[in-house]
């Protein structure tokens, strides 16, 4: 592992506790602002010192509360791009990039890094004469020039327009495969997190709620709060009525839903659970007399409709007792004729339902409605 | 000079434009007396007594080295009376046509002031390493001190002057350096020691080396108050006050 | 009527500006008028007194400046980076000589370093070391009144450098010293240069504290301002004083121009 991280600290009212590791991959730290993401990077870089824990980079401990070890930032081999980049304004791009270089062959390495980041023609320019994207690349080049195996990126694309972000994300993914790097990437942008992450660490209020492969986090959030944070529009409260052959039957509102038993956890019959289903996973069907009483089928009436061009978001009042949000692509929307019909049957496919334990912790944080966009 | 005239004009117009205006009436009741630093205590008392005798007249006192005062007056400072520690300063003003009337005021003798045990007699001023302070040559007290040393012989004077650590701007700051212990000795007026700390002793300068400081008082303006003040200073009462402060009063002279 | 209402304040403002400008320009005009017209100006400028005083002023103020920079820079840096109870009081204390009349500074120095002073007395008793009437005292007086200007400007300069730059420099392997030399110093350079110029100008013009603490002896403690004051007391009155003042003015102008060039060059061109 390039990074082993375990830290607990108290900063005024804010308590922080997290543990994860990173190999040769991009780990995205995801969460709202103030969740503890940037703090994590500062702890790794040595700009802040935790109360307890152990941090090792490349197998070597840089902080260990047990032994009192705490290496200063300048001896931790990392490349760190802070959110506001902090390019040294009085230095040229070349001087900035060379700042962290040591040893022989600096000129050649400078040329390589500038080339890699397509900055060759800007090497003698001062940062303020560069565009946002060029500054971003210069900051990245400066961090990369350290030849560190661990790269820390704090919201590196947040200040850029969409087209530049797309380009730079692509560049980051390319770099990762070319340079054999571990990257810890902080973002609060869900789409960005999904795009660049190999593994995803979801932070909330100083706690690491879930650390897992990207798809696992998106398909099987650990609890209601993670589901909310990762954009699951529909989280239904229900009760397990039967568990048989790897399938749970859950009563939610007036409907009966079948869902697979989740990995590593088997709820008891009678236990309250949360069921997550993403808006784009709900199917619409024309009304059929046979539907009522069938599992995973619910009748609903459109109460609100938002057209985003490529997709439509529909909000249904249904027998489930809670509003159900459905996202449907423009083409099926037209083919089905959704615009001319208010009442529909909603199909919640069993394989897209994810059953989660009701944790008191998560319940406390779920005061926000289940319709987080 | 046209530049000066233009500047004066512009400035006056500007100041008047801002609404400021001088009060010509008030000056009649206030007289400004410039006096040598060595007269600080004596003239302070004199002014109080004068004000008590002349209700409605206020005396403003400005003390400094006589040379400083002379230059200030030459440059137009609004003094009504000038009491100088030397006739030379008054002579300069007279040559400039500024003096209406002048009188002898008092004389003063020089002494060596010392706070240290290192020095017992006038001759000790030449001891190598002594920290001596004099009033600057431009100041009457400094001029008299150097004349006095010269009377004791040029060799002696040379050795004493080699001990000088500072040339002070007036006699009072010269004495202060001894009071503060910064200097071992200084040559000042006998009258000054009346106002000095207890820690400071006077060592007399032998009669044959004495240079009598002659104080003169000059009337510089025609105001009645100023004229009355000069008369008061040279009256028997004024003389008594000066004598009380260590000066030798010379009495009324035309 | 409307036109009048608009114009009256404008005229008033114009007059105010004119008076203000005249107030500041006139004294210099007066100096030059007297000095250039007067005979003996050149003799006074080239006299031993003037040259001794000028030499003394230049090298003592330079030494005071060097000490202020060498000692004041770490103090200013430290003050911008630490928090402790009573920090405001420490900062106020450092700023105090700025608002203090120099004569008070002189008396204060005397009570501390004079022969009967807090430190001066033991120094004299034990080592026979006295500071009064020495060139060292001149430099101390200049340092006391000048250094706060430098420290104040340096503090402002350091505070103006985003702390993020230093943190990033550390993560790029730079030690505290290297981060300071390569990042903080270049970025705060204009403030430091301005503070140094002010400190030096203040040291060069120091009169009150020097007069009280160091005395007035040609070649040893008689700096230019003291020489000007002494000249003022001579029988020829203003001529010598004016000549010396013009000389000091010219030297100060040249030095400030040099400082200004240095600081703008240090800031760099985009």
Chain A residues with CB inside 8 Å of C171's CB? 45-47, 73-74, 76, 78-80
**Residue A346: inside a domain, yes or no?**
yes
Does residue C147 sit at the B interface (CB-CB below 8 Å)?
no
Residue C262 has pLDDT above 80, yes or no: no
Cα angle for residues C259, C263, C266 (degrees, 5° grid): 140
Does residue A65 sit at the C interface (CB-CB below 8 Å)?
no
If asked whether residues A116 and A260 sit together in one domain, one would say no
User: To the nearest whole angstrom, how far is the Cα of A229 from the nearest Cα of chain C?
Assistant: 30
Work out whether strand A297-307 and strand B58-64 pair parallel, antiparallel, or are unpaired: unpaired
Q: What is the CATH number of domain C13-267?
A: 1.10.3720.10
- Residue B150, SS3 per DSSP: helix
User: Could you give the CA distance from residue C170 to residue C163 in angstroms, rounded to a whole number?
Assistant: 11
Q: Do A86 and C172 touch (CB under 8 A)?
A: no
- Per-residue model confidence as pLDDT tens digits over C174-211: 999 999 999 999 999 989 998 999 999 999 999 999 98
**Residue A51: inside a domain, yes or no?**
yes
Answer whether 0.90 is exceeded by the pTM: no
Q: Do C215 and B181 touch (CB under 8 A)?
A: no
Chain C residues with CB inside 8 Å of A147's CB? none
Domain final residue, candidates A159, A186, A219: A219
User: Could you give the CA distance from residue C241 to residue A76 in angstroms, rounded to a whole number?
Assistant: 64
If asked whether residues A41 and A175 sit together in one domain, one would say yes
Does residue A142 sit at the C interface (CB-CB below 8 Å)?
yes
End-to-end CA distance of chain B: 39
Residue B33 has pLDDT above 70, yes or no: yes
Residue C10 has pLDDT above 50, yes or no: yes
User: Could you give the CA distance from residue A285 to residue A296 in angstroms, rounded to a whole number?
Assistant: 12
If asked whether residues A326 and A243 sit together in one domain, one would say yes
Out of B138, B177, B182, whose CB is closest to C230? B138
Residue of A173, A171, A196 whose CA lies nearest to A185: A196
Looking at chain A from residue 144 to 163, which residues have their Cβ under 8 Å from any Cβ of chain C? 146
pLDDT for res A360: 55
Out of C168, C183, C187, whose CB is closest to A82? C168
Chain C residues with CB inside 8 Å of A129's CB? 270
- Per-residue model confidence as pLDDT tens digits over C66-120: 999 999 999 999 999 888 999 999 999 999 999 999 989 998 998 899 888 899 8
If asked whether residues A230 and A90 sit together in one domain, one would say no
If asked whether residues A46 and A92 sit together in one domain, one would say yes
Does residue A168 sit at the C interface (CB-CB below 8 Å)?
no
- What percent of chain C lies above the pLDDT cut of 90? 50
Q: Do B18 and C33 touch (CB under 8 A)?
A: no
If asked whether residues A61 and A198 sit together in one domain, one would say yes
Work out whether strand A3-11 and strand A14-22 pair parallel, antiparallel, or are unpaired: antiparallel
If asked whether residues A233 and A208 sit together in one domain, one would say no
If asked whether residues A176 and A228 sit together in one domain, one would say no
Q: Do C173 and A142 touch (CB under 8 A)?
A: no
Q: Do A47 and C167 touch (CB under 8 A)?
A: yes
- The count of structural domains within chain A is 2
Residue B34 has pLDDT above 70, yes or no: yes
3+ Cβ–Cβ pairs closer than 8 Å linking A and B? no
Q: Give yes or no for a contact between A274 and A356, defined as CB atoms under 8 angstroms apart.
A: yes
| B241 confidence band (pLDDT: 50, 70, 90) | very high
Q: Which of B9, B12, B165, B197 to mutate to test the interface with C (most CBs of C within 10 A)?
A: B165
Chain B residues with CB inside 8 Å of C214's CB? 166
Out of B3, B15, B139, whose CB is closest to C233? B139
Q: Give yes or no for a contact between A188 and A200, defined as CB atoms under 8 angstroms apart.
A: no
Does residue C185 sit at the B interface (CB-CB below 8 Å)?
no
Size of interface B-C (CB pairs under 8 A): 97
- Residue B129, SS3 per DSSP: coil
pLDDT for res C155: 95
Write down all domains in chain B, each with its CATH number in brackets: 25-107+214-249 (3.40.190.10), 110-209 (3.40.190.10)
Residue B65 has pLDDT above 90, yes or no: no
pLDDT for res B132: 94
- Per-residue model confidence as pLDDT tens digits over C109-166: 988 998 888 998 888 888 888 887 889 999 999 999 999 999 999 999 999 999 999 9
State the CB neighbour count (10 A cutoff) for residue C269.
6
User: To the nearest whole angstrom, how far is the Cα of C80 from the nearest Cα of chain A?
Assistant: 18
Q: Do A74 and C268 touch (CB under 8 A)?
A: no
Q: Give yes or no for a contact between C216 and B168, defined as CB atoms under 8 angstroms apart.
A: yes
Question: What residue of C is the nearest CA neighbor of B18?
Answer: C16
pLDDT for res C105: 92
User: To the nearest whole angstrom, how far is the Cα of B117 from the nearest Cα of chain C?
Assistant: 15
Alpha helical stretches, state H, chain C: 2-37, 41-45, 48-81, 87-99, 102-113, 120-127, 135-159, 163-171, 176-179, 185-205, 208-213, 224-232, 238-267
Domain-by-domain residue ranges, chain C?
Answer: 13-267
Question: What residue of B is the nearest CA neighbor of C26?
Answer: B7
Q: Do C171 and A128 touch (CB under 8 A)?
A: no
Length of chain C: 270
Q: Do C165 and A82 touch (CB under 8 A)?
A: no
pLDDT for res C256: 82
User: Could you give the CA distance from residue A250 to residue A237 in angstroms, rounded to a whole number?
Assistant: 9
C→A contacts (Cβ < 8 Å), by residue, are 162, 164-165, 167-175, 182-183, 186-187, 268, 270
Domain final residue, candidates A160, A188, A219: A219
Residue of C180, C219, C201, C190 whose CA lies nearest to C48: C219
User: Could you give the CA distance from residue A228 to residue A237 in angstroms, rounded to a whole number?
Assistant: 14
Q: Which of B69, B84, B180, B199 to mutate to test the interface with C (most CBs of C within 10 A)?
A: B180
Out of C116, C214, C216, whose CB is closest to B136? C216
Question: What residue of B is the nearest CA neighbor of C239?
Answer: B71
If asked whether residues A9 and A121 sit together in one domain, one would say yes
Q: Do C22 and B14 touch (CB under 8 A)?
A: yes
Out of B68, B92, B166, whose CB is closest to C221? B166
Residue C269 has pLDDT above 90, yes or no: no
Q: What's the complex ipTM? A: 0.78
Neighbours of chain B (3+ CB pairs under 8 A): C
Chain C residues with CB inside 8 Å of A146's CB? 172-173
φ, ψ at B222 (rounded to 5°): -85, 10
Q: Is A2 exposed, middle or buried (0-12, 13-18, 19+ CB in 10 A)?
A: buried
Question: What residue of A is the nearest CA neighbor of C269?
Answer: A90
If asked whether residues A151 and A180 sit together in one domain, one would say yes
> 């510089």: which residue's tokens?
B220
Domain final residue, candidates A184, A219, A254: A219
* pLDDT tens digit at each of 373 positions of chain A: 789 999 999 998 999 999 999 998 999 999 998 899 999 999 999 999 999 999 999 899 999 999 999 999 999 989 999 988 999 999 999 999 999 888 788 888 899 889 888 889 999 999 999 988 889 889 989 998 888 889 999 988 876 777 777 877 888 888 887 777 899 999 999 988 988 899 999 999 999 999 999 999 998 999 999 999 999 999 999 999 999 888 999 998 888 899 999 887 888 898 999 999 999 999 998 887 766 678 899 889 999 999 998 999 999 998 887 889 999 999 999 999 888 888 999 999 999 999 999 875 544 333 333 333 3
Work out whether strand A182-187 and strand A150-154 pair parallel, antiparallel, or are unpaired: parallel
Chain A residues with CB inside 8 Å of C192's CB? none
User: Could you give the CA distance from residue B167 to residue B178 in angstroms, rounded to a whole number?
Assistant: 13
Q: Do C26 and B7 touch (CB under 8 A)?
A: yes
Question: What residue of C is the nearest CA neighbor of A150?
Answer: C171
If asked whether residues A232 and A265 sit together in one domain, one would say yes
Q: Do C230 and B136 touch (CB under 8 A)?
A: yes
Q: Do C215 and B88 touch (CB under 8 A)?
A: no
Chain B residues with CB inside 8 Å of C222's CB? 167
Q: Do C174 and A84 touch (CB under 8 A)?
A: no
Does residue A124 sit at the C interface (CB-CB below 8 Å)?
no
Residues 6+ apart with CB under 8 A from A99: A88, A91, A142, C169, C172, C174, C182
Residue B188 has pLDDT above 50, yes or no: yes
Cα atoms found within 13 Å of the Cα of residue B45, Cβ hemisphere only: 13
CA–CA distances in Å: residue C238 to residues B70, B218, C245: 11, 22, 10
Mean pLDDT computed over B66-78: 86
Q: Give yes or no for a contact between C247 and C44, defined as CB atoms under 8 angstroms apart.
A: no
pLDDT for res A321: 78
Domain residue limits at A281 = 224-364
Work out whether strand B30-36 and strand B81-84 pair parallel, antiparallel, or are unpaired: parallel
Q: Give yes or no for a contact between A79 and A146, defined as CB atoms under 8 angstroms apart.
A: yes
Residue of A67, A12, A11, A13 whose CA lies nearest to A43: A11
- Per-residue model confidence as pLDDT tens digits over C12-70: 899 999 999 999 999 999 888 888 877 788 888 888 889 999 999 999 999 999 999 99
């Amino acid at each position: 592992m390039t990074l082993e991280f375990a830290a607990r600290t108290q900063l005024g009212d804010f308590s922080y506790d997290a543990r994860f590791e990173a190999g040769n991959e991009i780990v995205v730290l995801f969460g709202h602002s103030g969740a503890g993401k940037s703090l994590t990077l500062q702890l790794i870089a040595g700009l802040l010192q935790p109360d307890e824990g152990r941090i090792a980079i490349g197998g070597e401990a840089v902080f260990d509360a047990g032994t009192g070890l705490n290496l200063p930032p300048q001896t931790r081999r990392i490349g760190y791009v802070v959110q506001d980049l902090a390019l040294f304004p009085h230095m040229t791009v070349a001087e900035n990039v060379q700042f962290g270089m040591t040893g022989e062959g600096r000129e050649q390495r400078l040329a390589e890094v500038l080339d890699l980041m397509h900055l060759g023609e800007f090497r003698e320019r001062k940062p303020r004469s560069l565009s946002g994207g060029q500054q971003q690349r210069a900051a990245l080049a400066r961090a990369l020039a350290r030849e560190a195996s661990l790269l820390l990126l704090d919201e590196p694309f947040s200040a850029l327009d969409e087209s530049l972000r797309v380009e730079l994300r692509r560049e980051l993914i390319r770099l990762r495969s070319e340079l054999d790097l571990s990257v810890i990437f902080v973002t609060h942008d869900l789409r960005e997190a999904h795009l660049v992450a190999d593994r995803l660490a979801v932070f909330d209020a100083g706690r690491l709620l879930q650390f897992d492969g990207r798809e696992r986090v998106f398909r099987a959030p650990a609890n209601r709060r993670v589901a909310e944070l990762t954009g699951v529009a529909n989280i239904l409260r229900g009760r397990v009525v039967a568990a048989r052959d790897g399938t749970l039957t859950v009563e939610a509102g007036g409907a009966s839903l079948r869902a697979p038993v989740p990995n590593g956890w088997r709820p008891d019959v009678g236990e309250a659970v949360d069921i997550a289903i993403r808006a784009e996973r709900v199917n619409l069907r024309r009304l059929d007399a046979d539907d009522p009483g069938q599992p995973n089928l619910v009748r609903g009436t459109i109460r609100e409709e938002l057209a985003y061009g490529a997709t439509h978001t529909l909000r249904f009042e249904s027998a489930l007792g809670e509003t159900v949000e459905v996202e449907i692509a423009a083409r099926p929307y037209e083919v089905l004729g959704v615009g001319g019909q208010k009442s529909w049957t909603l199909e919640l496919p069993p394989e897209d339902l994810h059953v989660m334990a009701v944790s008191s912790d998560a319940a406390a944080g779920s005061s926000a409605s289940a319709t987080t966009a | 000079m046209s530049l000066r005239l233009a500047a004066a004009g512009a400035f006056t117009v500007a100041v008047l434009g801002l609404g400021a205006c001088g009060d010509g009436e008030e000056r009649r009741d206030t007289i400004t007396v410039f006096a040598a630093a060595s007269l600080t205590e004596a003239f302070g008392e004199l002014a109080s007594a004068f004000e008590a005798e002349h209700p409605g007249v206020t005396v403003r006192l400005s003390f400094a080295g006589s040379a400083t005062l002379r230059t200030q007056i030459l440059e137009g400072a609004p003094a009504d009376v000038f009491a100088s520690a030397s006739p030379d300063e008054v002579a300069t003003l007279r040559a400039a046509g500024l003096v209406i009337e002048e009188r002898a005021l008092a004389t003063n003798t020089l002494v060596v002031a010392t706070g240290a045990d290192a020095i017992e007699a006038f001759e000790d001023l030449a001891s190598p390493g002594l920290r001596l302070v004099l009033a600057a040559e431009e100041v009457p007290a400094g001029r008299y001190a150097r004349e006095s040393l010269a009377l004791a012989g040029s060799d002696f004077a040379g050795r004493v002057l080699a001990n000088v650590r500072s040339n002070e701007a007036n006699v009072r700051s010269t004495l202060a350096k001894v009071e503060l212990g910064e200097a071992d000795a200084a040559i000042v007026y006998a009258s000054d020691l009346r106002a000095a700390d207890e820690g400071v002793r006077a060592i007399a300068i032998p009669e044959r080396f004495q240079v009598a400081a002659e104080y003169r008082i000059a009337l510089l303006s025609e105001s009645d108050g100023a004229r009355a003040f000069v008369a008061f200073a040279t009256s028997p009462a004024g003389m008594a006050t000066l004598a009380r402060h260590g000066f030798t009063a010379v009495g009324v002279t035309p | 009527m409307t036109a009048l209402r608009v114009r009256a304040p404008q005229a008033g403002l114009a007059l105010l500006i004119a008076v203000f400008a005249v107030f500041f320009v006139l004294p210099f005009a007066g100096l030059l008028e007297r000095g250039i017209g007067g005979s003996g100006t050149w003799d006074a400028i080239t006299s031993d007194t003037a040259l001794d005083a000028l030499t003394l002023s230049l090298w003592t103020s330079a030494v005071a400046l060097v000490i202020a920079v060498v000692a004041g820079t770490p103090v200013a840096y430290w003050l911008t980076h630490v928090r402790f109870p009573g920090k405001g009081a420490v900062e106020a204390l450092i700023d105090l000589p700025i608002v203090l009349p120099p004569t008070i500074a002189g008396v204060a120095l005397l009570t501390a370093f004079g022969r009967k002073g807090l430190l001066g007395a033991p120094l004299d008793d034990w080592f026979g070391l006295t500071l009064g009437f020495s060139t060292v005292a001149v430099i101390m007086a200049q340092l006391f009144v000048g250094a706060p200007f430098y420290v104040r400007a340096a503090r402002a300069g350091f505070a103006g450098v985003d702390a993020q730059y230093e943190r990033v420099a550390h993560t790029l392997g730079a030690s505290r010293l290297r981060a300071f030399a390569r990042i903080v110093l270049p970025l705060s350079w204009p403030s430091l240069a301005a503070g140094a110029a002010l400190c030096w100008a203040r040291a060069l013009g120091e009169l009150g504290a020097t007069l009280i603490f160091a005395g007035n002896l040609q070649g040893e403690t008689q700096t230019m301002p003291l020489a000007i004051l002494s000249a003022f007391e001579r029988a020829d009155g203003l001529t010598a004083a004016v000549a010396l003042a013009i000389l000091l003015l010219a030297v100060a102008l040249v030095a400030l121009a040099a400082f200004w060039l240095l600081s703008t060059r240090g800031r760099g061109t985009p």
